[in-house]
Structure 1
Amino acid sequence: MGEKRRIAAIWLPNWPIERFYRDIKRTNASFVVTEKPRALVRAGAGGMRLTACDVRALDAGAEPGQLVPDAMALCPELELHASDREADRKALERLSVWCGRYTPWVAADPAGLGEEPDGLLLDITGCAHLFGGEAKLLSLLCGRLEGFGLTARCAIASTPGAAWACARYGCEAPCIVPPGKEAEALRSLPVAALRLGGEEIDGLVRLGLKRVGDLYGKPRAPLVARFGANIARRLDEALGFEPEPISPNLPHIPYRTSLAFTEGLTRQAHIEEAIKRLAADLCEVLEQERKGARRIELQLFRVDGEVTRLFAGTSFATHEASHLAGLFHEKLGFLGDDFDPGFGIEAITLACLAVDPLSLEQGSFDKTGEQRFGLEQFVDRVSNRFGADRVLRLEPRASHIPERGGAAVSALRGISPAMRGWKTYMGEHRAAVLGGSLPRPLRLLPVAEPVDVVAEVPEGPPRIFHWRKIAHRVLRAEGPERVSPEWWRGGNQRTRDYYRVEDAEGRRFWLYRDGLYHRDNDGPRWFLHGVFE
């Protein structure tokens, strides 16, 4: 059996106003902290209403939900600022990314039905022992959040519902509910702790069911008939009788390793040395699993709560630590002065977002394997420095039309089903080269260019053609290679007859006749499509 599930809930009761203070102090150096009470406002029913207040405003009588004129009457010196939901959401996302240093399973925690998130849920199953236990982990979380200027109430329980309720309505904070003790911990809490709607709470209170414990042992049928199934479902979720998944918007991370530091790292050389150690640990696990990394994410957790995220990819599956660490050396070097460690990097995480299986290969006695491996590493370095869309390779497509037979894709892109026949095609192509007959040129013109051709017979090979105002006399010609149109595409498509020709100067060209004499009314036309190297 696996370890008992444990959930940590973080509630930020003053999140909007404290987020506003924190962000504006960081971005606006001219912002002056004064003794004036402050509040955030947003358009609502009846006019502008307060959405968040600081402690001074609350002491003066202002409270969230009030109309601005009513609040100003109670507190004339109230300083108002516009509320920004999008900024609140993005700031909470940044905070959830920072919490990834404690557990990779973090999700926004909504305040209630239809309300905006004002907290976080962390699945800390199997993670608490890395920080000295649940009590130590909770103390670290609360201490760091307070250091960021945020008021936080935290709780740990075996269900998200119980942790949510204890964080918001528990008498003791931080609170740790032992496994199996959720019913006792919730017994004395108000029914609002079950994450119910306002009408449901009012209805239960009118019936005298004011505490969660008042619902224990009550018949379900009358409650469901009167209020619906939500009350019973929320109670079962909080007590662990019904599962409640946490679904963060994060990619699956099959392999992950991290390092934490007692003092923040500020020098890039020290950060790169830590990345090398992480890469070595990660590649040791990958080698044991016979896996190779394809996409890697580096997270640098700053002391001030900001997180720098860097991504790197490889064109082939690899578990070579020096190569993976070198990719992020390129990334950090490319950032230059834009890389800001702030007051220091307190933790670093290296994760594989995508891996491919590695097959055992026999090493060669010559240096061909080393050359191939060196070329692939070069492609990785260049792609990660200048961008994955700047370094391209050809990938075949299921078409005999030359311009449709291949497509340029990122060199870091994985092998697609279209590549299955690539080795067979390249083997035939290489055999043709060694045999002295190159079927098609390696280089095609961006667009086939029209040429004027003189042939001995109408459907014979060209003898003289004019291209870009220069006449070429053909000494040798091979062909035709007929390519029929793709009838399923529709449009004005015609049959092509390709010829490989060599002129008197020894230059070789690839021409085709577009159309047939006995089928197309306007007659065929000639085009130059490529040149042989």
Structure 2
Amino acid sequence: MRRVVSLFLPTWPTDRIRRQFGTPPLDEPLVTVANEGSRRIIAAADRAAKMAGLKAGQTIAHAQALIPDLHVRDATPEEDRAALTRLALWCLRYSPIVAPDTPDGIWIDTAGADHLFGGEHALLEDLTGRLNAKGIAARASIADAPGIAWAVARYGNQAVVSPGRAVDAVAGLPVQALRLEQKTLDIMDRLGIERIGQLAAMPRGPMTRRLGTQTALRLDQALGHAFEPISPLVPLETLSHSIVFPEPIGRPEDLKRVVSRLTAILCADLAKQGIGARRLDLIFRRVDQKSLALRVGTARASRDPIHLAKLFDESLGTIDPGFGIDEVLIVASRVEPLGAMQLQARGIDKQDPEPDISPLVDRLSARVGAGKVFRLVPVESHVPERSARRIPALAPASGLTWPEDLVRPARILDPPERVEATAVVPDHPPIFFVWRRVRYVVRGADGPERITGEWWKSDSEMSSFRDYYRLETDRDARFWLFRDAPAAEGGRWWLHGLFG
């Protein structure tokens, strides 16, 4: 399903000036001016200027009368557009289908890419958070179509418009959210049409005759009834190749052969430049002008065409060809230097090289997600849940190791789970316990191993301790339980781990 982000930059011209020159401070009003005949009018105003009552279209003389110390810069629309294109290229980290929406926005088609950031809400928070941290005011909304997202990002208050909820999201918005010319908006004002819902309730024939076909098109786009294409932005310096078909294709086996061919061509160019791919994007252009994209990444730079083509195998089945695909584009959107490799025959050298597991990591990441492929390394802490942390699967070794005589279960539950346990003798291991509604009878036990809290981290851990026991049960299972206080003080039992 198509999902499009509309990124709105309400003060883009002034934000760009501040980032370029470092002045003036944010609390001092700044405007850009342009010539309109013999008058000089405000082209853009920052947040401080707008709060002081300034807006685009006012004369600069009027503005300076209101704010004598107003900062004024000449408007440079060409520089604003060029900078917006550069920002759109930066947004390629979120999806391969990105395009500038001049003068103050960017389109991002995130279909199939939002899961890489933990969902749509997380993606939008990451996007706007990064821009705000750079001094760029930004709002964003995601919806089924560009027109919906554009309207809500500028005039609504929803970050995520749920699939199929376009009418509810835009019906109450002003007609200015339809991206219409001012003269059309003036006619609507005279007719008393203020909201999109009012316009949508009108008979289509009279509305089109009175307001024009462009109004009908924009209304359909805002409701998600008319398709609006996004032309992907591909940097000129980025290695890419495309294949255009004389007849549309759509069978999975045809797509697979095309991907293999494109990766072979691309890897040949990567080898010529001494680089390898860290991220590849596939863009499928359908005959109905819709663009679909897939993205894969590698743990290390690679230019092995067979390996890179296989990374797309898991996701090619998600591509809906519709009435056919007439072009496929592959883009090496992230590359790294990769020199020539010396081939070695195993058994001839005194020491064989370490096996390269990066292809395995790449295949697993493509199948289950990059965030689910990791390895554990030791941490200098005797509290079990703090004694390990996750790192990327191919990260270099930390140099730390766990003590050889430290007995720990293969699986740690974080947080520990409460169990009901009964001990015949206080402060001894239990004779049975109930976990997840299953009763386990203890056949053998070892312990206790006392672990105290890390008092140097917080006062609450100064008096905490745990008594751990390794238990063998009648179900041929081994568990790691602890009691968080002496029996006389009402200590409770917790299951913290399971042995293999």
TM-score (norm 1): 0.47
Q: Rg larger in 1 or in 2?
A: 1
TM-score (norm 2): 0.50
